[in-house]
Each structure stands twice: as structure tokens, then as C-alpha cells.
Amino acid sequence: MTWNLADAKNRLSEVVNLALSESPQTITRRNDTVVVISSAKYEELTGKTLDFKEYLLQGGGLDELDLTRDQGPGRDVDLRGRCSTPTSSPSWCSATGTRR
């Protein structure tokens, strides 16, 4: 439903009740328009997501998680690279990544 601002001010309770129980309520003032909607609808429209704590406290979703371990062969790792961490003994890693 569309309301002009004066009517919406006089019947604000009704505007809010209709927004909660039926559908968004439109309020106009000259050439400007605003919409009154429920907080649930607002969160749905803005895509509000729960943080991890809220998600767990809500009590849902753990059954939907895939916690199975990948049984694949793993991945190749090259252990011949250079030392990435500074050491106190410069002779430990040479430029080729092997011990001198």
C-alpha cells in the first residue's frame, strides 16, 4: 500500500502492522519515496550472513557439512627449495638449498 507522509505519520502503528503482517508499505513525500519493511525481510534482502558463533548458536548446519577425508594420493612437495626462514647459522642453507 502507498501512503502519503501525513497519513503515515497519523497512522504509523497501522503502517508498521501492515508491513509486519502483509507486505512492504510505501510512503511518499513530494518526489521522494521510502519503504517500510520488517527486519526479517530486510535481512533477507541485504543478504545478512551469520558469523561463525551465531551460526553455531543457531544450532543448524553441522549435519550439512562434508567432513569426509580426501582419500587421494595427496600432493607433490618440493623439499629442495631455498631456506625461507633466516637462520642463525648461514652455513646451514646455501644458495642451492642444501646444507654445506
Could you read off the pLDDT of 49-73 as tens digits, one per residue? Answer: 777 888 778 776 667 777 788 888 8
Q: Is 91 part of a structural domain of the chain?
A: no
Structural domain including 25 reads 2-53
From CA 25, how far away is CA 20, in angstroms rounded? 9
Supply the pLDDT for residue 96. 54
Provide, for the chain, the percentages of residues in helix, strand and coil under a 3-state DSSP scheme, each rounded to the nearest 5.
35, 15, 55
Q: Is 35 part of a structural domain of the chain?
A: yes
Q: Is the pLDDT of residue 4 over 70?
A: yes
Query: What CATH number should be reported for the domain holding residue 46?
Result: 3.40.1620.10
Number of domains making up the chain: 1
DSSP symbol at 44: H
Strand partners, 27: 3, 34
Record the pTM: 0.48
Q: Is the pLDDT of residue 32 over 80?
A: yes
Q: Is 73 part of a structural domain of the chain?
A: no
Percent residues over pLDDT 70 in the chain: 77
Q: Is 90 part of a structural domain of the chain?
A: no
